[in-house]
Structure 1
């Protein structure tokens, strides 16, 4: 790209003509000597710099990228910004000028982070597109404050009828975006540092959605009345403490020999996991395979949808269909961990069963010993579930009684497609 500076007015029309001409790299307006624009290689945009003298040296500080940032708004704020600099105050600078610039960067920043779950990213992006960008996008980072968030986001969402806890979630997204930019030195200061949503609204106490062991009987009743795939999904979650996302993605090839293998791509923490299969689990899985082949046809996935596995939304809908009280599918995982702990299972074994990250010292356990401990723990846990009535849901896991309850026929006839 040719060097040189084009002189002209700082307005959108003039800047577009400069970029299209493709001759000179820089652009300045004599009326604003502290401002300088530099075209990108493809001349589709230009970086906006504040060129000032500090300590006898000329310093270029990037303020944003045009046309993402509004030149007119920035020029209106420029005298105040320069006055603050002359008094020694910190001024926000970096890749962003408005909150919209920050949010656009943050979406790209988390989208390529493979350690974050896709469902979390989708929710975060939805909050940004639906609430943060429309309500705060035009606010400059220099203007962003506790009062601005309170007036333009919190109070507006309250008037729109959103729950307090959801508003808190929205506020947390913009706070995380600011923190991430600050950590990467893209911002000098965080204008919302120390802000808590409770400064603007009162949060109601969270509803206790926990399942306890005394809930096993009604839970088994709900599973008994569900169609086969629904019952099977949540029986596996209860038996192994797995998450709904990784359970719905289970493939038949993952059940090989004496283990259920959960690939790293399916796990929330992106760590591959291997769970020992007890005789109870093997009997249940074999029975479900026979059911699927007979009534659905052989599929790659245990819980097959029209294409691939069922969606997370479908799995969550299934979860709603078995609720006899206010609980979530994740509470099945918590119940599994609670019962295992109450049975006296070693803490490290219990944490490994749930695929939690282990402290460095606990990672030194011999894997063969760990696998044996996990199998013993699951075997005792599954026996405990049977003693609490689990066989009422899945009679195939133990020798059938002399009375045929007709359960299989009912579930199979109901189907699920």
Structure 2
């Protein structure tokens, strides 16, 4: 590993942030403070409101964002008639601090946006998805204006695009042009909303049954850009892995946190305990590595669900995984054995020496510095392998589909 590679693995901004963490406190105090900040990040609430007319696909949209099918346990209830009469919370199965709220339909004749928002306690929501399945009507526009007046963000989602395209293909098979039809639908939506007084409306065309197509990636990148940084991280990690770009964004988000996890893990080594050899906090590393596997859908449950969703045999998905660690159960014994590998020790020393050039404290607390480098390289290499394998699995499930 040369200095250029180390610079990409542990960039200057991360080293500077680490240096600040050690100002006016010792190794153990800095590590404990970092650990507390990571725990609080996991506890940051994100409340997403999903509203629209009855039958527009609100509940199915919520289910796919949570990685669930409509008939799975815990899924939001779906149907052709309104099944939601009060604001109903649905927790993300893996990230319990992320909650999607299925709000009552807005199409009633007595619908009054301000009263509706007060009824559903709009203050608790971070932003709104306004769902429409055919076109956006006055009720959608009035609701958006009321949300905007109350200082909240909103995004329009035009659902059931697959049904529109199928209908167009049947009606005009010889002149069918999918890209042209999508452009027309998007322009018509924007034109209608603008005419209703919505300036610069954000409209995303989606199919909840073909989430890998159309505007899901655009929606994801838009929200990643516009949400506050602490909410952005939570939202990004909770989204389903159906785009290569989504995997890259998750990988970068995790890599930015590795030095913090490594430092938190090394606190034990900097505070020797009589009778025990200094080293990393293995229980903590097991927790982080399991989180990586889950976030990229490389655990057994997620792989089985992905295979079922895309009508694949799970053995097909497992066959493209190159790292055996990706498929292994992450246990205390496994992580302990990995920490003892000679190649890991050599890489850890290089990481420690490189980081100590900017953060002298890492070099002055020998056991803590070595434990930091060991944990850092273990997490970095494992995350890289898991993310790359997730990309191969995604390519396998999408090999016969066309993405937009």
TM-score (norm 2): 0.30
Which structure is larger by alpha-carbon Rg, 1 or 2? 1
Structure possessing the higher relative contact order (Cα contacts under 8 Å, 6 or more residues apart): 2
Greater percentage in helix: 2
Query: Taking structure 1 as the reference length, what is the TM-score of the superposition?
Result: 0.29
